Amino acid sequence: MLLNLAYAYRMNHEAEKAEGILRKAMTIEPTNARAYNDLAYLLLSTRKNVGEAIVLGQKAHELAGDEPAILDTIGYGHYLLGDNTRAAEYLSRAVLKTADDEVRYHYSLVLVKRGDNEKAKALLAKMVSGHSEWASSARELLNSIEAAEAAEERRRLEVASQEEQKKQEVEAEREEARKAAGKRKAAEQAKIREVRKEAEAARQKAKEEAVRAEKEEVVRKGREHAEAETTRQKAERVMSRVQVLMDGGKAETALRMLRELHQSGVESAGSRALLARAERAVKERSRALAEQENRTQAFPNDPEARFALGYSYLLRGRPGEAAEQYEALARMKPDDSNTFLNLGYSYREAGDVEKASGAYRRAMALDPENPKAYNDLAYLYLHAQQDVPEAIALGEKALSLAPDDPAVMDTLGYGYYLHGDLARSHDLLSRAARRGRSDELFFHFGLVLAKLGHTRQARAEFERVVRMHGEFAEEASAALQNLPPQQK
């Protein structure tokens, strides 16, 4: 009854009332797929929140499977977000299951965007011959496709004609140039034969040799100076980075970097002191790790021991072994969402996107109000370059739960940057930059500023990241090189 009332409000253009009733229906019947799909369709119709609409459509799909109306809603939502590949995936399945003209029309829109005009025209022709409410829209779209094709054909013929004319003009110019060149060459050769003297040729050659030798010497000295400067800068950068790693408890990584620096032939009293400090720290941490491993072996069912050992493995850059500890911990505490968050992070650091995604989704299911679960899964998808629209939807959910969290705003802002919505990205990242202190956050903010053409502000953000000597220092340094030169 509530769904019918919502439909009546929607048909009467009272979208807010319809939305309120549908959300109430979802609360009363959380397994009613139609309620989720009807609300998703309403949000798409009003363009109010396409990301939430897709999430609602996916929930309806989980409850009811490949219902044509649900597939149509999800596919149309992805079309509105500009993801025509995902849109085609859902709408093509919907068209196979129903002859509904609205579904056909939505699929035709996607086909046109993907350049498959012939298939779109075939679908639209069937709609035009019918008597549904979509026949008029189908005729307009069909006419626009045919008009665009006709215009393209005219443009192609015009371009071909212009290219042929230009080709003829260029050939004529070349012929004239060849004739003129031939005359000039003959005149120059005659003059050279008259005026060339053996002594003058020898003198000129000696002069050129002297000039060339002088230039080569200048270049050689400049190269040596640049190489010396680069080596000094490299040593300073590595030592600053090592200091940050040591302060952050990552002595093993710091030790590896220092050894590589010394092997490259760059060594100083400061770097040797840091190397000794790193070696002592690694030995101490190795002893502590051995004690943790012994404790875990002695008390394999102690959750605290498993957690501590997994965390130690992560600090040492051993995510695979960390994942084994958190897997054991998950078997002991299958209802603890934080355990699955740590497990997802371990899988992510090990490069296993699929397992990380599964762990994060388990954490979301155990604690649907935990913003970190949604944010971590969104971050995973973005940095794996997978399903950016889904990552944005997850980020929006995290933001609704933690509207002032800079980490959440950073993830969502970076997602909109990858999606091309620079205005939304700038809004989120500028807010996050006022609250957070992450070098990754400042790096993302710099990328957006550079893309928007705010070169001075972008340079300031990248320079701040370089000064922090964190994980993104090298990427920020490379980004600085790609910025336009400063105006003097």
| Whole-angstrom distance, CA of residue 62 vs CA of residue 69 | 13
CB 90 within 8 A of CB 75: yes
Q: With residue 126 as reference, give the H or E element that holds it.
A: helix 117-128
The pLDDT assigned to 206 comes to 65
| Whole-angstrom distance, CA of residue 465 vs CA of residue 446 | 9
Q: With residue 237 as reference, give the H or E element that holds it.
A: helix 198-247
State how far Cα 449 lies from the chain centre: 16
Going by pLDDT thresholds of 50, 70 and 90, the confidence category of residue 254 is: low
52, two tokens: 């939430």
The string of pLDDT tens digits covering residues 296-310 is 887 888 888 888 888
| Whole-angstrom distance, CA of residue 82 vs CA of residue 328 | 42
The residue with tokens 């679960």 is: 373
**Taking residues 332-339, what's their average pLDDT?**
94
3-state secondary structure of 396: helix
Task: Judge whether residue 77 has pLDDT over 60.
Answer: yes
CA distances from 23 to 59, 76, 222, 309, 480 (A): 14, 21, 71, 45, 48
Sketch the domain layout of the chain as residue ranges.
Answer: 2-148, 198-289, 299-368
The pLDDT assigned to 419 comes to 93
Going by pLDDT thresholds of 50, 70 and 90, the confidence category of residue 220 is: low
- Phi first, then psi, for residue 120 (nearest 5°) are -65, -45
CATH fold match for the domains 2-148 and 299-368:
yes
Task: Judge whether residue 105 has pLDDT over 80.
Answer: yes
Task: Judge whether residue 169 has pLDDT over 80.
Answer: yes
The string of pLDDT tens digits covering residues 343-364 is 999 999 999 999 999 999 999 9
CB 48 within 8 A of CB 10: no
> Which is nearest to 75 in space by CA: 63, 60, 52, 92?
92
The string of pLDDT tens digits covering residues 31-59 is 999 999 989 998 998 887 899 999 999 99
**Taking residues 418-447, what's their average pLDDT?**
93
**Superfamily covering domain 299-368:** Tetratricopeptide repeat domain (1.25.40.10)
Range of weakest confidence among 58-62, 81-85, 221-225: 221-225
Going by pLDDT thresholds of 50, 70 and 90, the confidence category of residue 209 is: confident
Report the mean per-residue pLDDT for the chain: 84
CB 57 within 8 A of CB 73: yes
Q: Which residues of 11-44 are buried (b: 16+ CB within 10 A; e: fewer)?
A: eeeeeeebbebbeebbeeeeebbbbbbbbbbbbb
| Whole-angstrom distance, CA of residue 218 vs CA of residue 224 | 10
Task: Judge whether residue 19 has pLDDT over 60.
Answer: yes
Q: Which fold has domain 2-148?
A: 1.25.40
CB 410 within 8 A of CB 419: no
3-state secondary structure of 49: coil
What amino acid is encoded at 204 in this protein? Q
CB 460 within 8 A of CB 431: no
The pLDDT assigned to 225 comes to 45
